[in-house]
Copies of this chain bind each other. A is one copy, B any other.
Amino acid sequence: MIKPTPLSGFPEWLPGQQIAEQRVIDIIRSVYELHGFSRLETSAVERVSILAAKGEINKEIYGLGRLQGTPGRWEMALHFDLTVPLARYVAQNSGAVNFPFKRWQIQKVWRGERPQEGRFREFYQADIDVIGDGELPLSFDAELPAVIHEIFQKLGIRAQININNRKVLLGYYQSLGLDETKSADVLREVDKIDKIGADKVREALTKMEIDSQTADKCLALCSLKGAPQEVLAKAKELGTDNEIFQKGLEELAFVADELSHIGSENLIFNLGIVRGLDYYTGTIYETMLPDYPSLGSICSGGRYENLASQFINRKLPGVGISIGLSRLISHLFAQNALDCSRQTPTQVLISWPSEELRPACRAIAAALREQGIPTEIFHEVAALKKQIRYADRKGIPFMLFPHQYTEEAQLVEVKDLKTGEQVQLPLLSWIESQQK
């Protein structure tokens, strides 16, 4: 006998959790689609030459080889994110894609990392990106946080979307006389402010031979955090007419205006977020869940200049955001924050009391399913106790008894297994009561 030991870093959920995870995925997808994002699914496998195009995280990539093939050079590997596949897909199908291309992509990705709490080797990401051909309107920068806000509202989870714009930071550093290299260095230090605190950042800036007045100014800027209009006002007070800085503030002001429907408890402008990657060029996002602070940012992204420059000679600017779905869900499971009591989609279990009632059971089941109500008939003639135990264990909410059912009257008895309440009524009346 072979012992089925779990593989560390490859999470699998229990039966009740499976349904809870699907519910979260369905909500995310439905909101993405309500905003006109269309499905993209790419193959899990890419050429190594594609994945290694930037040469950075090679060591985490899982290569593929046939178990009985001759080991040689790796040619194929599993994707480690959904952005490289998107870029490759768009480059490959650039003639078939209509721009701006709005796509959602909810797929697993694989990374050969050392597994630790909340970090997996196989996990789901849920991404949206909008890709323009040559240029991309700013309205999309405002749409992404609106979509994310709607998702967390529907999930019933408080989410705080932090927004910044790299142009504000870089334009300001330019106005302080810092050159590009120095600006990048400063960004890297500022990015650590949440972890190491303002004092340590100041220390680091001083070590770069930035004078203390300039360091203070950098810190003053990245400390601005709060309601969008307030942050914008304070940033303006910092007073510089640097063009890039001003452009950044204009973009932020547009985003603030578009998102005025989101309360300031859920939307803050935070000039201290940087996003590690150099990739981003304008608006950037990080989303925290106040009720789950240890999660950190669970959803981040931003505006970038050119999606697919390594594959195609065509400027494709974009803006994207990604929900760390598996990390989110596993945290919610650990906190008992998702209802996992249902082990089946079945809403109604029809009791099967005797062979004679089989036609009645079948007719009732067909009527319920036709109305979109997931239904099971108990799978054999059995003692009532056994049938109820099955419903209880699987978390089926209703049990239906067909004894009274005739084609004419269509009377049924329905028992609510939570409250114990039992009613007798025509089948159609009960269906209608469920659909309200």
**Is A71 interfacial (CB-CB < 8 Å)?**
yes
What is the minimal beta-carbon distance from A191 to any residue of chain B, in angstroms?
Answer: 27
- Considering only CB atoms and an 8 Å cut-off, how many residues of chain A contact the other chain? 97
Question: Which of A9-17, A231-239, A265-273, A408-416 is the interface stretch?
Answer: A9-17
- Interface flags, A82-119, vs B, CB<8A=1, else 0: 00000011011100111011100000101010000000
What is the minimal beta-carbon distance from A352 to any residue of chain B, in angstroms?
Answer: 8
Taking CB atoms and an 8 Å cut-off, the chain A residues in 33-78 that contact chain B are 33-50, 52-53, 58-69, 71, 74, 76-78
- When chains A and B are docked, how far (Å) is the Cα of A112 from the Cα of B76? 12
Query: Which chain B residues border A207 with CB–CB below 8 Å?
Result: none
What is the minimal beta-carbon distance from A416 to any residue of chain B, in angstroms?
Answer: 18
Query: Which chain B residues border A12 with CB–CB below 8 Å?
Result: 41-43, 89
* B66:A345 contact, CB within 8 angstroms: no
- Interface flags, A188-215, vs B, CB<8A=1, else 0: 0000000000000000000000000000
Query: Which chain B residues border A6 with CB–CB below 8 Å?
Result: 92
What is the minimal beta-carbon distance from A344 to any residue of chain B, in angstroms?
Answer: 4
* A69:B344 contact, CB within 8 angstroms: no
Given the known A-B contacts A4-B311, A64-B62, A92-B6, are A374 and B35 also in contact in the complex, defined by CB atoms under 8 Å? yes
**Is A277 interfacial (CB-CB < 8 Å)?**
no
**Is A7 interfacial (CB-CB < 8 Å)?**
yes
**Is A398 interfacial (CB-CB < 8 Å)?**
no
* B96:A1 contact, CB within 8 angstroms: no
- When chains A and B are docked, how far (Å) is the Cα of A390 from the Cα of B137? 14
A313's contact among B1, B21, B47, B49, by CB below 8 Å, is which?
B1
Query: Which chain B residues border A71 with CB–CB below 8 Å?
Result: 71
Given the known A-B contacts A14-B93, A43-B122, are A66 and B76 also in contact in the complex, defined by CB atoms under 8 Å? no
- Which residues of A pack against B, CB within 8 Å? 1-7, 10-15, 18-19, 21-22, 33-50, 52-53, 58-69, 71, 74, 76-78, 88-89, 91-93, 96-98, 100-102, 108, 110, 112, 121-122, 137, 139-140, 258, 261, 310-313, 343-346, 362, 366, 369, 372-377, 379-380, 390, 393-394
